[in-house]
Chain A
Amino acid sequence: MKVSLNKRILDRNDECAQKNKLFFEQNSVLCVNVISSPGSGKTTMLSRTILALKDKLKIGVIEGDIKTDTDAEKIRSTGAAAVQIETQGACHLSAVQVHDALTQIEAMDKDVIFIENVGNLVCPSAFDLGENKRVVLLSVPEGDDKPIKYPGTFAGADVILINKMDLILYIPFDLDRVLNDIRKVNPDAKVFKISAITGDGMQQWYDWLCDMTA
């Protein structure tokens, strides 16, 4: 006997994501989900962004990691509020985890909530967290083949930050190829070339963020 269902498999996550989305709308909070491989520079980029925009925007950060709260500690040292979610092995954050963190971080008083997702270029993109915008980081040392290897992740991005541009002199990285491959899967994404360490190129990213919250 066959039963035909056609049921969305992650519907429970998606329902909670809708709740989060409504929360962000009602409280005029811009929520940005930041996705990349481990070590691309998410925490460094967020810390620098917080320091640069301190006087303009109230920022809170939800940190996702498999273990430890070292990233949340780094964010707190900038003066911003941060909550750590330890996923205990899971390679992505879920909408429910974000939902629980929103009250802890007093999200309704913030202008921007960043979610630093668990370092992974595949899994997080399948889970809608209810965010308003999605940012994908790709850093130069990871290599120029990533957009074509992980098209789903890059296709879902509103902004793509190419980080560690200060290293491009030392590492073979075909920037034209990357830009071309990104255009194939996501012609509408904003692409900014940055160095989270030197600060180069970060202004365009700040401008975009301020535009989104205006």
Chain B
Amino acid sequence: MHETAVAQSIVETILVEAKKIDKKPIRAKISCGQFNALNDEVMEFAFDVASQDTACKGMKLEIHHVPLRANCKKCQNEFEFDIYSGSCPTCGNSEIEFVPDAPLLLEEIEFEDEDS
């Protein structure tokens, strides 16, 4: 449940941004890599809990999972890493190197427009 700490951090940031422009936040988009192990359901639940009693209540949270990529040390092919195969899909070699995993990012916040 590290999702709780992640959710709290997101809500804090959104509240700061919302205050700056004095608008109501309605949607946020986050992205994460494979090693952060964010679970969508748990994340959404944690976000709902963290946004209770704040201006974020009722917001929609979009979670984008960025695949993990790796390089084959033999044929230099870059590919999407599949944990169950663990080897290069082109040459079958299992000597690989990971491309750094995507960080946890708050990418975008959408606010309500004045006239809507």
Contacts and interface: CB of A to CB of B under 8 A. Distances in A.
Interface of A: 1-10, 12-13, 90-92, 94, 122-127, 148, 150-152, 155-156, 181, 183-185, 187
Contacts of B108: 2-5
A187 B70 CA distance: 13
Interface of B: 1-2, 4-6, 9-10, 13, 17, 21, 23, 30, 34-37, 83-84, 86-87, 94-96, 98, 101, 103-113
B13 A185 contact: no
B107 A90 contact: no
Given A148-B84, A156-B35, A7 B13 contact: yes
A1 B113 contact: yes
B2 A127 contact: yes
B15 to A, nearest CB: 13
Nearest to B10: A9
A152 B10 contact: no
A9 B105 contact: yes
What 10 pairs between A and B have smallest CB-CB spacing?
Answer: A152-B35, A184-B86, A123-B2, A9-B104, A1-B111, A7-B106, A2-B110, A3-B109, A126-B2, A91-B1
Given A155-B35, A156-B35, A5 B13 contact: yes
Given A3-B111, A5-B17, A155-B98, A91 B2 contact: yes
A4 B29 CA distance: 9
Nearest to A123: B2
Contacts of A124: 2
A148 B30 CA distance: 25
